[in-house]
């Protein structure tokens, strides 16, 4: 079995032959250690793609691929009726992130509460939405609460992301909860009009006051 653990890096680099690959995948399904290590090493392997610097593909390729995708569209069944794109987008964000939430090590009760809160906020077509500064994403504020949807990656070992509410006109930032990876996060407290929301990187467990500069911010009208 130990031998199969040793194949994680080679698998991440696509450097196994077909038989080795099958054996490793069978092992992977039952080995949590390898799943965790593979996630990290695959991420590093894909960074190697960036060392090439990228090359813009020939312009006609985009249309060809999209045309092929359109032809296949009948094979992919869209879910539910068509709605306004913004609503659809955010419902999908919610669906995607609810899955992501499953991995968070929260108590079941806490998790269920968060899931339903998130679904209520992101699913509210009347919610106010503000684009974030510093990363792709949005601050979504509905009557039932507020959520941050960010493109942040995973917080480094021993660190956490912490959200803050900064009252209109300045004043001490109020902690609004910690989270360990990008995606959707329900803020503690509901920001009033004019409030700014910011995210900093803090040591695990969070801080009472921000100790680093914000990496993400948004201001409510």
Partner 1 sequence: MARELEHLSDEALLALVARAEEPALAEVYDRFGAVAYGLALRVLRDEGLAQDAMQDAFLAVWRTAHTFAPERGAARTWILTLVHRRAVDLVRREERRRGDPLDSAPEPESGERTDELTWLRFERERVQAALRQLPDKQREALELAYYGGFTQSQLAERLGEPLGTIKTRMHSGLARLRDLLQPEETEWTSSTT
CA 8 to mean position of chain CA atoms: 24
For 143, the enclosing helix (H) or strand (E) is none
Decide whether 209 or 212 has the Cβ nearer to partner 1.
Answer: 212
Strand 145-154 to 181-186 pairing: antiparallel
Which tokens in the block code for residue 14? 């696509």
Give how many residues touch partner 1 by CB under 8 A.
Answer: 81
Q: Name the minimum Å distance from CB 210 to partner 1.
A: 12
Q: Are 196 and 217 in contact (CB under 8 A)?
A: yes
Q: In what order do the strands lie in the sheet with 145-154?
A: 128-131, 137-142, 145-154, 181-186
Of residues 176 through 215, those in contact with partner 1 by CB under 8 A are 182-183, 201, 212, 215
92 binds partner 1 (CB under 8 A): yes
Q: Name the minimum Å distance from CB 27 to partner 1.
A: 15
Q: Are 7 and 20 in contact (CB under 8 A)?
A: yes
Decide whether 3 or 169 has the Cβ nearer to partner 1.
Answer: 3
Decide whether 54 or 169 has the Cβ nearer to partner 1.
Answer: 54
Of residues 4 through 63, those in contact with partner 1 by CB under 8 A are 6-10, 12-17, 20, 35, 39-58, 61-62
For partner 1, the binding residue among 26, 103, 112, 168 (CB under 8 A) is: 103
110 binds partner 1 (CB under 8 A): no
For partner 1, the binding residue among 1, 68, 107, 109 (CB under 8 A) is: 68
116 binds partner 1 (CB under 8 A): no
Calpha distance 158→59 (Å, rounded): 44
Calpha distance 195→43 (Å, rounded): 36
């Amino acid at each position: 079995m130990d031998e199969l653990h040793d194949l994680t890096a080679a698998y991440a680099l696509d450097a196994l032959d077909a038989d080795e690959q099958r054996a490793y995948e069978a092992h992977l399904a039952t080995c949590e250690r390898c799943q965790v290590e593979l996630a990290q090493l695959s991420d590093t392997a894909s960074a190697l793609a960036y060392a090439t610097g990228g090359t813009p593909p020939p312009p006609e390729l985009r249309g060809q691929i999209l045309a092929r995708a359109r032809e296949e569209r009948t094979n992919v069944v869209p879910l539910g009726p068509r709605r306004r794109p913004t609503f659809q987008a955010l419902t999908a964000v919610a669906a995607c992130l609810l899955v992501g939430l499953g991995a968070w090590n929260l108590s079941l009760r806490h998790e269920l509460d968060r899931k339903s809160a998130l679904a209520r906020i992101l699913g509210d077509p009347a919610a106010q939405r503000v684009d974030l500064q510093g990363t792709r994403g949005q601050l979504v504020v509905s009557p039932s609460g507020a959520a941050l949807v960010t493109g942040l990656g995973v917080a480094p070992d021993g660190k956490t992301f912490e959200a803050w509410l900064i009252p209109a006109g300045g004043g001490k930032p109020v902690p609004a909860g910690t989270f360990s990876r990008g995606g959707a996060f329900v803020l503690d407290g509901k920001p009033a009009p004019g409030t700014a929301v910011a995210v900093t990187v803090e040591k695990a467990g969070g801080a009472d006051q921000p100790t680093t500069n914000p990496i993400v911010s948004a201001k409510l009208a």
